[in-house]
Structure 1
Amino acid sequence: MGKSLYDNNARAKALFEQANEILGFRISDIMFNGTEEDLKRTEVTQPAVFLHSVIAFLCLDNPRPDMTAGHSLGEFSALVANNTLAFEDALRLVAIRANAMQKACEATPSTMAAVLALDDAKVEEICASITDDIVVPANYNCPGQLVISGTVPAVEKACELMKAAGAKRALILPVGGAFHSPLMAPAQAELQAAIEKTTFNTPSCPVYQNVVAKAVTDPAEIRKNLISQLTGAVRWTQSVQAMIADGAKRFTEVGPGKVLQGLIQKIDKNVTVDGISTGLEEAIAK
């Protein structure tokens, strides 16, 4: 992750070294040479994805987005891209968020599941019908793809009900806990304290935040929504639809992989979608 940027771009190398110093360990070494197990460590995964996305963006030639958005963790990258957060401040918040979420995961056995080919309203109805435990819609990824989150028994029960209701699949995901659910509440206080100590600037363009799925430019509201995101749903479908309604015609995904490009194409086939990922790092480096 990001090795060709480090090797070929002086600014990228400086940013990676700055990240190593901020985090207190050489995350760049793990990103470039670590095993899959190394990359799955809590203190590594979220900062690594953040760094790959943000450093690739910062090494672009004078990027000027008209609007930004990020899926879950990616919202922090989006806030660097629109100048709300400084690189180093965002990285510190990401590290604190990752560790706080891990503690919350360890407090209660929990999980997530992907539900395919079932209307959002039906998924919401089934989750609401389970009143003796916690299971909620967590990620509205695209039409026909919604992720639910909660305690292990509640998610398993919901999956059976989803299949009975006609879902093509209801698949438990290999994740550490119930992200974007009330079970993440213990992590909120720690993240909130860190956010309240961090400078949030007036953004250079709107950010479409996960929990409200609309354009936000007020730093105080951005803070509030970032805290709420830990326990609130990622409304990606609604966010992309709002961006398109506000004039977006071209979306560029910056970071590892093409997942968001695929989701956006499923949300609206009429927009242009491209990406700046590992395969294009050499071009950025030049």
Structure 2
Amino acid sequence: MITYQKTKEMKAYVFPGQGAQFVGMGKDLYEGSEKGKELFEKANEILGFRITDIMFEGTEEELKQTKVTQPAIFLHSVILALTSDDFAPDMVAGHSLGEFSALVANKTLAFEDALKLVSQRALAMQKACEANPSTMAAVLGLEDEVVEKVCEAINEVVVAANYNCPGQLVISGSNAGVEQAMEKLKEAGAKRVLPLAVGGAFHSPLMEPAREELAKAIEETNFSEPICPVYQNVNAAPANDVATIKANLIAQLTSPVRWTQTVKNMIIDGATSFTEVGPGKVLQGLVKKVERKMEVAQL
């Protein structure tokens, strides 16, 4: 159990990443809020296609396209936060793609600018995946250090990519690298090793072309002083400084998502509850695995 000082209620808001999408997502926000409808229509205009049609009534296959999935999850999360009466964060964090949603929530990025970056990120990642066929796999029931050592010993690109919660780590790399690592991890005593249905090796060195492309776009985007700290994926540390936030956001694509460490640090720094903003309940489950007594909720 993590010990921390509870001086006052401190609300942490967390934003999900790719994989949380579902058909019908965000429809209630569009129909139930004038501001929500306005923001969705603005998004259709910015993206140059009616993403709302796919989100509300498309097929699962259509929703799975990277150019759709990432903006869809971002829009659901951000519009939910922007149309909520009781959204008042003391700290924010997002899992991978969710970091962009968190940066709108704490007013570092304007809605329109962040949506453009998310769209560019999705397309750049798609391109990198096509150039380098690659994959990811979830490893259950092993210590992080064991997984890291197994990956380091393999003579192919394969790295620890998502530290989701104790005993759950995702590896990422070339098809051959991940395949070899899966065998070695089973031998090392993993309870389960599951290949993931993803487009490529996210959060690995194979995303370097996408990182370079996104870096240019991030540098050209206006970032403002945040209203509360964002705990960023690359180092799990709170950031308030614009230059630091930008640098960490650029590094994110080729670096691991340190989610376990992020949740621990938010609790140590005083978080008394975690509210998930967006589709699904994955992050609430991960928070509970880090600290089972923590209060979790959905916005």
Check if 1:100 corresponds to 2:121.
no
**Runs (5+) with no aligned partner, structure 2:** 1-24
Mapped to 2, the partners of 1:188 and 1:236 lie a distance apart of 20
TM-score using structure 2 length: 0.91
Pair 1:47-2:65 in alignment: no
- Mapped to 1, the partners of 2:156 and 2:203 lie a distance apart of 16
| Whole-angstrom CA distance in 2 between matches of 1:98 and 1:88 | 16
Following the alignment from structure 1 to structure 2, what is the Cα–Cα distance between the partners of residues 163 and 37?
Answer: 32
Q: Does 1:207 align with 2:230?
A: yes
Letter in 2 for 1:12: G
Match of 1:196 in 2: 219
Q: Which residue number in structure 2 is paired with residue 81 of structure 1?
A: 105
Structure 2 Cα separation of the partners of residues 136 and 189 of structure 1: 19
Q: Which runs of 4+ in 1 moved over 6 A?
A: none
Per the alignment, residue 56 of structure 2 pairs with 32
Query: What is residue 60 of structure 1 aligned with on the other side?
Result: 84
- Superposed CA deviations along residues 44-75 of structure 1, whole A, max 9, x for unmatched, are 01000000000011111052100000000000
Amino acid at match of 2:171: I
Deviations 1:165-205 (A, max 9, x none): 11001111010000000000011111011101101001000
Q: Name the structure 1 match of 2:168.
A: 145
> 1:256 is matched by which residue type in structure 2?
P
| Distance (Å, rounded) in 2 between the aligned partners of 1:88 and 1:187 | 21
Partner amino acid for 1:9? S
Q: In the alignment, does 2:245 pair up with 1:232? A: no
Count of paired positions: 275
Tell me, what secondary structure is at the counterpart of 1:229? helix
Greater RCO, 1 or 2 (C-alpha within 8 Å, sep 6+)? 2
Using the alignment, how far apart are the partners of 2:274 and 2:159 within structure 1?
29
1 CA distance for matches of 2:102 and 2:250?
15
Partner of 1:113: 137
CA displacement, residues 99-156 of structure 1 (integer Å, 9 cap, x when unaligned): 00000000111000000000000000000111x2100000000000000000011101
| Match for residue 157 of structure 2 among 119, 130, 134 | 134
Bigger shift: residues 58-67 or 144-153:
58-67
Distance 1:149 1:110 in 2: 8
| 1:42 CA displacement | 2.0
- Give the secondary-structure state (helix, strand or coil) at the position aligned to 2:182: helix
Aligned counterparts of 1:175 and 1:188: Cα–Cα separation in 2: 18
Which residue does the alignment assign to 1:69?
93
